[in-house]
Amino acid sequence: MRQRSTFLFSVLCFGFAFFYIPIISMIVYSFNKSRLATVWGGFSVEWYFKLFKNAQIINAATLSLEIAVISATFATILGTMAGMALARFSRFRGRTFFSGLVSAPLIMPEVITGVSLLLLFVFMERYFGWPAKRGFTTVTIAHTTFALSYVAVIIQSRLLSMDVSLEEAAMDLGSKPWQVLFDVTLPIIAPAMIAGWLLAFTISLDDVVITNFTTGPGATTLPILIWGKVKLGVTPDINALATIIVLVVSIGVGLAGYLMYRSEKKRERDIQMALAANK
C-alpha cells in the first residue's frame, strides 16, 4: 500500500513537472538580460519595456483583446439563450439532436471547425458580399460560434440544477415570462454567465488554429504574431509577452473557476441549512 502510494505520488510529480517546468522556465527567462534564449545573463525587465514600445505587438494585443471582448459578449448572450432552450423547453422535437449539435464543437478538431468556417465565409462573400474581407469581423464571428458551445453547456447545467418552481412561483405571483427571466432566472444564473464570459474570453484570446483559417491580411492577433515570430527563433521578448498572456489567462480561468465553485458551495450550504432546519 505504502509502496503504491509513493509510486503514484512520483508519477503525479513527474506529470506536474512535465507540464509546468517549461512554463516556469519561460517566465524565468523573460527576466533574462541576455539576448540568447538559453543562456542566463542576469536579471532584467528590459524585455517588458521593449515589448510595450513595439507598435506591432501593441496593435496585435489590442486587436486580440477587442475580438476577445466582443466575441465573449456575443457568445454569452447566444450561449445563454441556447442553454435555456436546452434546459427549459423540455420536449421539443429533436431536442437531443440539438443538444448534441451545441456541444459538438467542444470535441470537433479545431482544424475542421476552422476549415468549415473559412468555406462559409468564402461562400458568404461570394453570394451576399458580406463579410467583404476576411479579418476582424470573420475572426470575431468564428470565435463567437466556437465559444458559444462552452457557455451553452455551462448555462444548461446550471439551469438543470435550479428548481423550476422558482420560475413558476414568480409567474404565479403575476410576472409574465419575460419578467420572470429578468427577476428570477438571470439573477440566479448570473455567476454562471460571468464564468461563461470569462471562459469565452480566454478561449478567444489564445486561439491560433481557427484564427489562422479565418483571418486575413492586416488582422494579426497576438497568438498569430507570436507564432510567426517563433518560427524565426525564440527571443526573450516573446518570453515576456507569453508571461503576460499566461498571467491574463490564469486570472480569467481562475476567476471563472472561483465563481462556479462559490455558487456551487452556496447551493450546498443552502441545502444543508434547509435539511438541518427541518431536523
Partner 1 sequence: MGIENTGKAWETPKTEPFIRIENVTKKFSDFIAVNNVSLDIYKGELFALLGGSGCGKTTLLRMLSGFESPTEGRVWIDGQDMTSVPPYERPVNMMFQSYALFPHMTVEQNVGYGLKHEKLTKAQRQDRVKQMLDLVQLSQFAGRKPHQLSGGQRQRVALARALAKQPKVLLLDEPLGALDKKLREHTQFEIMNIQEKTGITFVVVTHDQEEAMTLSTRIAVMDRGIIRQTGTPTEIYEFPKTKFVADFIGSINQFAGTVKSVTKDKAVVACADWAGEITVDRDASVAVGQNVSVAVRPEKISISKKAPAKTLNAIEGKVIDLGYFGKDSLYRVKLPSSALVRVNRVNDQRGRETERVAQWEDKVWLAFEPSAAILLKD
Q: How far apart are CA 41 and CA 60, in angstroms?
A: 29
Nearer to partner 1, 7 or 261 (CB): 261
Nearer to partner 1, 111 or 186 (CB): 186
Binding of residue 279 to partner 1 (CB under 8 A)? yes
Nearer to partner 1, 66 or 183 (CB): 183
The minimum distance between CB 246 and partner 1, in angstroms, equals: 35
Contact string 218-237 vs partner 1 (x = CB under 8 A): --------------------
Q: How far apart are CA 200 and CA 252, in angstroms?
A: 10
Nearer to partner 1, 35 or 266 (CB): 266
Residue 87 host element (H or E): helix 55-88
Q: How far apart are CA 120 and CA 80, in angstroms?
A: 24
Residue appearing with cell numbers 539576448: 35
Nearer to partner 1, 116 or 272 (CB): 272
Q: Where are the beta strands (DSSP E) in the chain?
A: none
- Name, in order, each residue with C-beta under 8 angstroms of 184's C-beta and a sequence gap of 6 or more: 166, 167, 170, 175
Binding of residue 93 to partner 1 (CB under 8 A)? no
Contact set for partner 1, span 149-188 (CB under 8 A): 163, 165-166, 168-176, 183-184, 187-188
The minimum distance between CB 195 and partner 1, in angstroms, equals: 17
Would you say how long the chain is, in residues?
279
Cross-strand bridge partners of residue 43: 32
Binding of residue 265 to partner 1 (CB under 8 A)? no
CA-CA distances (angstroms) from residue 11 to 1, 8, 24?
A: 15, 5, 19
Binding span for partner 1 by CB under 8 A among 6-14, 122-130, 245-253, 262-270: 262-270
Binding footprint of partner 1 on the chain (CB under 8 A)? 163, 165-166, 168-176, 183-184, 187-188, 266, 269-270, 273-274, 277-279
